[in-house]
């Protein structure tokens, strides 16, 4: 018996989507001990826009995204302000997608790296969209390493014990979650 063409096309698409889903789950599971549940999910456009509309970055600014996912924040910031942008990513699937989407774009570096092991002293702006379980440790690392004047932007989750300079609430029905802005104070 021969299957109709549309059934074959449907089966191929369903098979590819299933394989991608397996790949996504496997990659997330592989890095779970490090990410503690912080999945490979991109920051929605309205929140990236809120960040970029409110934080001016000059062309020499070094922007670091801790867990850069597919690298969308880095590309958007580079397009708008011409910043130097570095993203660290530990999920192999996210890293591959970020490298692919950022191919040939000057000024953007995507590193397959665990950000806990990276020295952040050179950063001017640090962006993150992580998970609550990581925020206490992250607050300590940032406090130790960041220079006075550095800006920290955290999507959804605050840094425990830190006082936000501003809290942005994007005017959007589904993506209105808070974006916390902090500044490392000058002595």
- What does the binding site for ligand SAM look like in residue numbers (CB under 6 A)? 31, 34-35, 38-43, 65, 67-69, 72-73, 88-91, 94, 114-116, 129-130
Cα three-residue angle 48-50-56, rounded to 5 degrees: 95
* DSSP letters spanning 127-145: EE---HHHHHHHHHHHHHH
Taking the least distance from each CB to ligand SAM, the nearer of 10 and 54 is 54
Taking the least distance from each CB to ligand SAM, the nearer of 65 and 150 is 65
Q: Cβ of residue 108: shortest distance to ligand SAM, in angstroms?
A: 13
Question: Which residues are within 8 A (CB) of 90 and not within 5 positions of it... i.e. 6 or more apart?
Answer: 31, 34, 35, 67, 112, 113, 114, 115
Q: Cβ of residue 92: shortest distance to ligand SAM, in angstroms?
A: 9
CA 160/CA 34 separation, integer angstroms: 19
Q: Cβ of residue 47: shortest distance to ligand SAM, in angstroms?
A: 8
Asked if 116 and 88 touch (Cβ cutoff 8 Å), the reply is no
Taking the least distance from each CB to ligand SAM, the nearer of 120 and 163 is 120
Q: Cβ of residue 152: shortest distance to ligand SAM, in angstroms?
A: 13
Asked if 90 and 112 touch (Cβ cutoff 8 Å), the reply is yes
Taking the least distance from each CB to ligand SAM, the nearer of 40 and 180 is 40
Taking the least distance from each CB to ligand SAM, the nearer of 10 and 116 is 116
Tokens read off for 178: 């808070």
Asked if 170 and 179 touch (Cβ cutoff 8 Å), the reply is yes
Strand partners, 87: 65, 110
Q: Cβ of residue 15: shortest distance to ligand SAM, in angstroms?
A: 25
Q: Cβ of residue 48: shortest distance to ligand SAM, in angstroms?
A: 7
Shortest Cβ contact with ligand SAM: which residue? 67
Taking the least distance from each CB to ligand SAM, the nearer of 69 and 163 is 69
């Amino acid at each position: 018996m021969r299957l109709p063409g549309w059934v074959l096309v449907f089966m191929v698409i369903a098979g590819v989507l299933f394989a991608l889903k397996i790949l996504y789950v496997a990659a997330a599971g592989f890095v779970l001990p490090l990410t503690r549940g912080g999945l490979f999910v991109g920051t929605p456009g309205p929140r990236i826009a809120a960040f970029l509309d409110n934080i001016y970055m000059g062309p020499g600014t070094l922007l670091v995204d801790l867990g850069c996912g597919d690298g969308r924040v880095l590309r958007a910031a580079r397009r708008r302000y011409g910043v130097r942008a570095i993203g660290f990513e530990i999920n192999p699937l996210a890293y591959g997608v970020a490298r692919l989407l950022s191919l040939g774009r000057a000024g953007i570096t995507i590193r397959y790296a665990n950000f806990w092991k990276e020295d952040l002293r050179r950063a001017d702006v640090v962006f993150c969209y992580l998970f609550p379980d990581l925020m206490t440790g992250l607050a300590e690392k940032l406090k130790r390493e960041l220079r006075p004047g550095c800006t920290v932007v955290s999507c959804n989750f605050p840094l425990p014990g830190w006082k936000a300079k501003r809290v942005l609430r994007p005017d959007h029905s589904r993506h209105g979650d808070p974006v916390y802005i902090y500044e490392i104070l000058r002595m």
